[in-house]
Structure 1
Amino acid sequence: MSVLYQARKWERTQEAFIKDNLANALKELGEIDLYFAYPGSILLNRLDYYLRENDSKGFLRLSQCIASNIISKKFHRDISVWDIENYEDDPFNRLPQAISRIKTKPYFEVLSIVPHARSRWQHIKEEARGVRRSEDEFVYETVVVGSAVDALKCIILNSDIESVVLYDGFENGYDEKDSFLKIFEGVIDFQSLDKSDYLSIGLAQAINKIRPELDIFLLSDQNIESFSGKKESLIFDRIFYQMEEPLEIHLSIIESINNRYKTPFFDNLKKYAERPIATFHALPIARGKSIFTSNWISDMGDFYGPNLFLAESSATTGGLDSLLEPTGNIKDAQDMAAKAFGADHAFFVTNGTSTSNKMVLQALLVPGDIVILDRNCHKSHHYGCVLAGAQPYYVEAFPLVEYSMYGGVPIKTIKQSLLKLKSQGEIDRVKMVDLTNCTFDGHVYDVRRVMEECLAIKPDLIFLWDEAWFGFAHWSPLLRQRTAMGAADALSQALSQPEALIAWEEQQKTLGENPSDEALLENRLIPDPRLVKIRVYQTNSIHKSMSALRQGSIVLVKDIKFEHVESQFHEAIFTHASTSPNLQIIASLDVARRQMQLEGYGLVANAMRVSLEIRKQINNHPLISKYFRVLNNSEMIPEKFRESGISDYNDPSVSWIKAIDAIKNDEFIIDPSRMTLSCGHAGFDGTTFKNILADKFNIQLNKTSRNSVLLQSNINNNRSDIALLLGVLNEISMDLDNKSQKFGKEYQINFQKSVDELIFDLPHLPNFSKFDDCYRSNPQSDTLHGDIRRAFYDAYNELKCEYIDLNSTEIETRLESGPVLVSANFVIPYPPGFPIMVPGQVITKEIIEFMRKLDVKEIHGFNKNLGLKLLKTGSI
């Protein structure tokens, strides 16, 4: 937009130095334009012509049109905008006739990497246009570069690229001093470009690491018949012998895009809605007749429109499919989702990730199994243990007392739990490690490291990663490595290499035959690749970060032994899934996958930009930052978990190279899209501030803590949203300043008192205590797991229960001299949202103090009128 800004100044002032600035800006724009189809050399040449002719009005008019088309992406929808002034006789602006018509088809761009001279590149673009057909379902433009490095820059910068065509013979072009590419060395091994026998293979592998969804085609003048039979060739979607079949190349590009574009279930649902159908099943709302002919509820039909009702059915035939036992288009849609997310299997769920988690736990665990479980995870995991009869071994996340929240569970804590169970002879009972990635507040694990070190202690562990909030991360080359499926893939590849066994053997020499627990805790452990079984499950709330309807969830599987548990996994589906699933939710899961495969990379990148800009604007604003601030990495993650030392994503003194090193290597990072906005210094508790934003300013958010609220940027946000948020925060800050000046010292003293209560007078966050001895298989041991299921159902017997007032002095007496206080149920305050009591847990003084200091209205499992529900342990 610098060009547009200076164009306005030039048109207004006619100053020569501005014209010089524009000439330099155009030169820089031309270098960037290399990686994009629009605006292209024709329009940039036209701008240059206006500049040389001193036509400031023409320059401004054209630059405004180009800027508008880029921002609105009108060039995706209307090809005529490429020829803005449409001067038929103007040689600078005459576009090929093949692209002069209006476009209504989905648009994308194809990257061609060629060995030809730059003077030939425009001809290559023309050749690509020449094979277009009116019956093509999509329209594309070609971007041409001449080296591997420019290809990678294009892939990173241009989110419209959907297909790549490699012409053998192009240059490497790698320069280790290239500052732009050095940023991405943590993701891409650029040295592999030189190691491969074919540069094309090395480049294709590098592209696949950045954007694995892209289709890659190879044009080669070598012996492609022989090469096509090699394993390395599988990275290409198809291999052609040079340009002997230009139409076939075009058709292959179109077909590959169509393979991602098709949505098997949604497509069939649309066809079903178009058919004239008489319904004789139990769903009166289907076809909408009871709605549109009603004297009383026809407004519902007006609001939703006819398609919603035409696409409703309880049938599983006639073009539809069964979610419980899919064999047709739902199965196809799930298979496509699995491929899109890098999984072996995928299962759609229409009643939320709460159900997805319970499905996995029930399918993989049996009564008596032990699960290493984050005590602060979503309640569905705790209830899943109750249903499966598994015994949770609760591990604690690091606390952030000043914000009334928890982070993630340190790897050292997880290893300690495994080693403790091993020393007690119970390691064989440990079946699963179950963690939340990322947490509600944005703490993201080094997933690969957690799995590697745990598998070094017990090589057959199953991992369940609840990534309800993190599904979008697959579409970011930086964050993908921190997802369950991304880490499982990287770990599988690493363990298959000869170097993995060598590294393990070297570690064994260092640690010795019988290493102490201390040595195992202090060293980063390497698993024995001969023993490891990769068994990873990931659950995603697709509706939380992608374009799916509420309750749309998915279970992703990469389990080498899945065939051994598949039948029981289906039993878990039968247990939890509705026999009448919402067809619109299933369709939205199908469509969400399509969108992310075709434009997820660009959408997620934009969400990151929005978040970083919000952080920068709030924390650097002279007035807003007086009352509000987005907490940075150092405030959300203790230093010992940040090896990189990164304290703030927006720190101008920190290079992106170091920031990406943090994403790759730190034990925990903060998901950039999640922003904890501290509001305590403005005198607001989280719940009050959330309600003010919603009721007065129409800004909605979800999670709060005692002195903060959580903001999330997602694929739905844009720069206008940033402006709205900043305007609201500025208005509130100005009001606080005005009140302070207007009402004087007494007001200021009271205001500071309320701030101090929110910032300093905070309840201690209690850890999990232990299960009562009657719920532990070995009361003499100091391990933490217990029979939560038996405690849960003991509470169903009122004769075994009692109630005690939270503020009763009897509590102090019993804490001091007994009998012990044992929780009969889950007690979950919102906020902070984690269970401070679970069935069978011993209640401690710290827990009581925390409960008494809570000022939240919503506490699940606690009836203020009755008091705490306790189990009479003597009667059990």
Structure 2
Amino acid sequence: MIYPVSSKETPHSLISTALATPALRADRWLSVLSLARAWADSHKDTTKTALVAALTDLKAVERFFAYPGTLLLERLNSWLEDDDAKAFLRLAQRISTTIISKKYHRDVTAWNVEELEDEPLNRLPQAITHLKSRPYFEVLSVVPHSPARWRLIQEEVAGVRRPEDDFVYQAVIVGNAPDALTAILLNPDIGAVVLYEGFASEGGEANPLLDVFRSLIDISPTGDDEVQIIQLAQAIRKIRPELDIYLLSDRNIETLAGRPEIRIINRIFYQMEEPLELHLSILEGIRKRYKTPFFDNLKRYAQRPIATFHALPIARGKSVFTSNWISDMGEFYGPNLFLAESSATTGGLDSLLEPTGTIKEAQDMAARAFGADHAFFVTNGTSTSNKMVLQALLAPGDIVILDRNCHKSHHYGCVLAGAQPYYVEAFPLIEYSMYGGVPLKTIKQALLKLKAQGELDRVKMVDLTNCTFDGHVYDTRRVMEECLAIKPDLIFLWDEAWFGFAHWSPLLRQRTAMGAAAVMTEELAKPEAIAAWEDQQKALGENPSEDTLLSTRLVPDPRAVRLRIYQTNSVHKSMSALRQGSIVLVKDVDFEHVESQFHEAVFTHASTSPNQQIIASLDVARRQMQLEGYGLVANALQISLEIRKQVNSHPIISKYFKVLSNAEMIPEAFRQSGLDDYNDPDISWGKAIQSIKDDEFLLDPTRMTLSCGHAGFDGTTFKNILAEKFNIQLNKTSRNSILLQSNINNTRSDIALLIRVLVDIAMDLEAKILENGEGYRKAFAHQVRELVDDLPKLPNFSCFDDRYREDTTGDTLHGDIRRAFYDAYNEAECEYLPLDSQELDTRLQSGPTLVSANFVIPYPPGFPIMVPGQVITQEIVDFMRKLDVKEIHGFNKALGLKLLKR
């Protein structure tokens, strides 16, 4: 068994193991350390037997890591064989703490076989201090040689390293393709791969970890070395596309280099003819990813002596550091923040509006990193990114299929563009006062209805949120394929504000817009794609019914399809970028035809004085994710899975709180696999694969909805308690829940803090219930009932008033939201009615129709329950009257609802 299993009492499920594979290594070492302590204390043979088994299990994983390496593991074994429990404990403690702290990344003494006392950094020899300052990575070598030669290969690799190298690396050696894939799945430190021609196609033992990836990669055995090399390289790219791959061949490499498919290899060498060149190529590959063009340039700019005569007094910091009154600002932020500020785009800096230098280079690098054709940095958030895309691609009168529950920027984008939203409803989760995602059937129904009414040509875009605030992830590929089967030139805008990190998870990547785009580009180019479309056309016949089309998984005609995909990411929400750092990613075969209008949208929305630090942070965030994002995301996934397990299995916490499972967040109809919970230890590999591949909706593991209604807390109250009493911050709530998010910034210590706080709160509730009388218990039960059972029905979008609809005879939902929005500017044509007034009830019953003059957006739940021009229904009013939130955008309680007069 080569996949890690948690040492906790409740085992991780196979799917949770696959999602968080690299991050679970430390658990195994801590398990060994725990047994070592018990053995040192008791000297029991049973404990030693358990330790032998744990160490044997650990070795199966450790062969895929450079540290601790063969020598340290042999020394550990020798202490075990000699029954020296204390020596074994010392070394196990040293290795486990070094792995957890990653000390071996920065301190060469961690690799020494002999025990050394830790010394302060400033006492280390100069050579070691220099080494510590260089980033560390590992190189995977897949070789045909016997294991007896592997140590020699590692020594040869170490022999070409030089003091002037920018980076330091160690070699990891394996002998076959399955082991190579296992290594890159388990070891996030691997930054490059070297393939020696002639490696084995199959491993010597069963490899259950790879089963979950078999549907994504082709590692079938072949007798053709060249095909085998290409297959393995393709498999590596599908799992970790950021890795550089090098080939050492002893055949006619000139002919091999001419094969088109070999382009997947970064460089080919004639065996070990040039070991130094291979070494330098590996470093150059890492250097390319490490490069941050704009950030590097900004650092150089900050070091130059510059006199400023532009309108930015804070630049260079003189007005701050020489001030009697605000010098503390300079002390707080430090000089570099001010030295790296400028209002000029000359003197080596670049313009975000029309980049031609380092910003352009940084954007191109970001595009390649995310698998896009183009990337555009945005410094005022994804709200602006969304409006840029909508304004660039839509014109007045165009129809956009839009999730009514999406972020308000999409609705305002329609107002700006003059596009007409056709609102489609997400599935409701009434018991938690939230919505999920929009079912594919609902989207297809909208397209088919518009087609039937002769308006399909006006539909330009499908605009959806992936993942939603609460973690609902679409099957992006299926949505796009089926929509393109109805209208092959549709544009897709996927708002992935919360999901940018998913590109660095091999399982979640395929559900991102750019991940799906890559797969679709490859699949639509195959001859089988045309055959599949032709076969379906024969099966459907000339005039299939709407029911038939809705129940069929539609196949697009690859000859007609125009792949036009846009993805917006709030980089600051899941990567190491400053607040408001966002990016627009483009995969559009017709971008050259809309590029000028896209730039016009940029000019419209982007500031002419963008924040240089935000631009630099976007550059740096890309660097980090390309070099260590795989491991960071795996850690975030492990943390979320551990929180779920700890909360839901705790005997006291689970009485009052629960992290909602997949089954509770996604109705069964959208979980074809039947996956109920990530931490279900009985889940099969088949179900895990099916869930990730085929479920209409998947739950983002890093987004944890914590139900707090059974504790008597509404979401807002509980959020404030956590912030004010326990220094735990979060931002999203519902009527009876809060949203916890794990990200690349979280640690295991954060889990411990959260669990401790929840225990304290739960025990305090227990004490109050026991200590107070029957009256208190009845009041508490009543409060819980109101939060858990007495929940308002979530209202659907009604319709636009007839004056904002072009065709009042049909039943399609789109309307002229822009005209309604600006009609409300005329106060003489508006009126106000208090929410609780009798007149409002009378109008609902007998008219005239109530028409909203503006957006009304309660927080929570955060979706617009009214938009300009929308007819207000009894359902909407009932929902608003039951809301107990303080923040409702667009509603003035003193005045009441703002209405457009009839």
TM-score under structure 2 length normalisation: 0.94
Q: What does residue 541 of structure 1 align with? A: 570
State how far apart, in whole Å, the 1-side matches of 2:548 and 2:60 are.
Answer: 54
Q: What does residue 619 of structure 2 align with? A: 590
Corresponding pairs, count:
865
Instruction: Note if 1:574 corresponds to 2:584.
Output: no
- From 147, 157, 161, the equivalent of 1:132 is 161
Q: What does residue 318 of structure 1 align with? A: 347
Listed one character per residue, the Cα deviations across residues 819-854 of structure 1 (whole Å, up to 9, x for unaligned) are 110000000000000000000000011011111111
Contact 1:176 1:182 in 2 (8 A): no
Q: CA deviation at 1:389?
A: 0.3
Q: What does residue 217 of structure 1 align with? A: 246
Listed one character per residue, the Cα deviations across residues 779-828 of structure 1 (whole Å, up to 9, x for unaligned) are 11110000000000000011111111111111122112211100000000
- From 825, 828, 836, the equivalent of 1:807 is 836
- From 353, 364, 374, the equivalent of 2:382 is 353
Q: What does residue 861 of structure 2 align with? A: 832
1:46-445 paired onto structure 2 within 5 Å: 46-83=75-112, 85=114, 102-174=131-203, 178-191=207-220, 197-445=226-474
Q: CA deviation at 1:80?
A: 1.1
1:593-672 paired onto structure 2 within 5 Å: 593-672=622-701
Q: CA deviation at 1:491?
A: 0.8
Contact 2:106 2:132 in 1 (8 A): yes
Q: What is the SS of the residue equivalent to 2:132? A: coil
Contact 1:193 1:202 in 2 (8 A): no
Q: What does residue 480 of structure 1 align with? A: 509
State how far apart, in whole Å, the 2-side matches of 1:45 and 1:177 are.
Answer: 25
State how far apart, in whole Å, the 1-side matches of 2:192 and 2:686 are.
Answer: 28
Q: CA deviation at 1:19?
A: 2.9
Contact 1:79 1:101 in 2 (8 A): no
Instruction: Note if 1:859 corresponds to 2:888.
Output: yes
Listed one character per residue, the Cα deviations across residues 152-187 of structure 1 (whole Å, up to 9, x for unaligned) are 000100000010000000001158953222122233
Q: What does residue 901 of structure 2 align with? A: 872
Alignment CA distance shift 1:654-1:609 (3 Å) = same
Q: CA deviation at 1:513?
A: 1.1
State how far apart, in whole Å, the 2-side matches of 1:837 and 1:87 are.
Answer: 68
State how far apart, in whole Å, the 1-side matches of 2:359 and 2:288 are.
Answer: 15
State how far apart, in whole Å, the 2-side matches of 1:153 and 1:255 are.
Answer: 25
Task: Report 1 or 2 for greater relative contact order, CA contacts < 8 Å, sequence distance ≥ 6.
Answer: 2
Listed one character per residue, the Cα deviations across residues 444-473 of structure 1 (whole Å, up to 9, x for unaligned) are 000000000000000000000000000000
Contact 1:470 1:540 in 2 (8 A): yes
- From 735, 742, 749, the equivalent of 1:720 is 749
Gaps spanning 5+ residues in structure 1: where? 89-97
Listed one character per residue, the Cα deviations across residues 34-66 of structure 1 (whole Å, up to 9, x for unaligned) are 100000110011111222233222211111111
Q: CA deviation at 1:697?
A: 0.3
Q: What does residue 693 of structure 1 align with? A: 722
Q: What is the percent sequence identity of the aligned residues?
A: 73
1:673-822 paired onto structure 2 within 5 Å: 673-822=702-851
Listed one character per residue, the Cα deviations across residues 204-241 of structure 1 (whole Å, up to 9, x for unaligned) are 00001100000000111121101111111100000111
Contact 1:80 1:100 in 2 (8 A): no
Contact 2:178 2:219 in 1 (8 A): no
Alignment CA distance shift 1:156-1:838 (3 Å) = same
Q: CA deviation at 1:744?
A: 2.6
State how far apart, in whole Å, the 2-side matches of 1:558 and 1:573 are.
Answer: 17
Alignment CA distance shift 1:195-1:677 (3 Å) = farther
Q: CA deviation at 1:11?
A: 1.6
Q: What is the SS of the residue equivalent to 1:539? A: strand
Q: Given residue 760 of structure 2, which amino acid in structure 1 is its aligned partner?
A: E
Q: What does residue 95 of structure 1 align with? A: none
Q: What does residue 588 of structure 2 align with? A: 559
Q: CA deviation at 1:24?
A: 3.1
Listed one character per residue, the Cα deviations across residues 433-453 of structure 1 (whole Å, up to 9, x for unaligned) are 000000000000000000000
Listed one character per residue, the Cα deviations across residues 617-647 of structure 1 (whole Å, up to 9, x for unaligned) are 1001111000000000111111000000011
Contact 2:202 2:221 in 1 (8 A): no
State how far apart, in whole Å, the 1-side matches of 2:223 and 2:780 are.
Answer: 64
Alignment CA distance shift 1:290-1:87 (3 Å) = closer
Alignment CA distance shift 1:217-1:15 (3 Å) = same
State how far apart, in whole Å, the 2-side matches of 1:145 and 1:340 are.
Answer: 27
Contact 2:311 2:343 in 1 (8 A): yes
Q: Given residue 869 of structure 1, which amino acid in structure 2 is its aligned partner?
A: K
Q: What does residue 23 of structure 2 align with? A: none
Q: What is the SS of the residue equivalent to 2:294? A: helix
> Could you say what the CA RMSD is over the residues aligned between the two structures, in angstroms?
1.6
Contact 1:194 1:202 in 2 (8 A): no
Q: CA deviation at 1:526?
A: 0.2
Contact 2:408 2:864 in 1 (8 A): yes
Q: What is the SS of the residue equivalent to 2:258? A: coil
Contact 1:80 1:102 in 2 (8 A): no
Q: Given residue 640 of structure 1, which amino acid in structure 2 is its aligned partner?
A: A
Q: Given residue 846 of structure 2, which amino acid in structure 1 is its aligned partner?
A: S
- From 878, 886, 898, the equivalent of 1:849 is 878
State how far apart, in whole Å, the 1-side matches of 2:363 and 2:224 are.
Answer: 37
Q: What is the SS of the residue equivalent to 1:397? A: coil
Q: Given residue 257 of structure 2, which amino acid in structure 1 is its aligned partner?
A: S
Contact 1:273 1:310 in 2 (8 A): yes
Q: Given residue 564 of structure 2, which amino acid in structure 1 is its aligned partner?
A: R
Contact 1:703 1:709 in 2 (8 A): yes
> Comparing 852-861 with 805-814, which one deviates more in the overlay?
805-814
Q: CA deviation at 1:773?
A: 0.5
Q: Given residue 635 of structure 1, which amino acid in structure 2 is its aligned partner?
A: E
Alignment CA distance shift 1:279-1:2 (3 Å) = same
Contact 1:3 1:63 in 2 (8 A): yes
Q: What is the SS of the residue equivalent to 2:214? A: helix
Contact 2:467 2:473 in 1 (8 A): yes
Q: What is the SS of the residue equivalent to 2:213? A: helix
State how far apart, in whole Å, the 1-side matches of 2:116 and 2:360 are.
Answer: 53
State how far apart, in whole Å, the 1-side matches of 2:44 and 2:451 are.
Answer: 78
Contact 1:39 1:82 in 2 (8 A): yes
Q: What is the SS of the residue equivalent to 2:397? A: coil
State how far apart, in whole Å, the 2-side matches of 1:498 and 1:166 are.
Answer: 31
State how far apart, in whole Å, the 2-side matches of 1:135 and 1:216 are.
Answer: 23
Contact 1:217 1:239 in 2 (8 A): yes
Q: What is the SS of the residue equivalent to 2:200? A: coil
Listed one character per residue, the Cα deviations across residues 267-315 of structure 1 (whole Å, up to 9, x for unaligned) are 0000000111111111111111111111011111111111111111111
State how far apart, in whole Å, the 1-side matches of 2:328 and 2:867 are.
Answer: 46
Q: What does residue 16 of structure 1 align with? A: 45
Alignment CA distance shift 1:216-1:819 (3 Å) = same
Q: Given residue 729 of structure 1, which amino acid in structure 2 is its aligned partner?
A: L
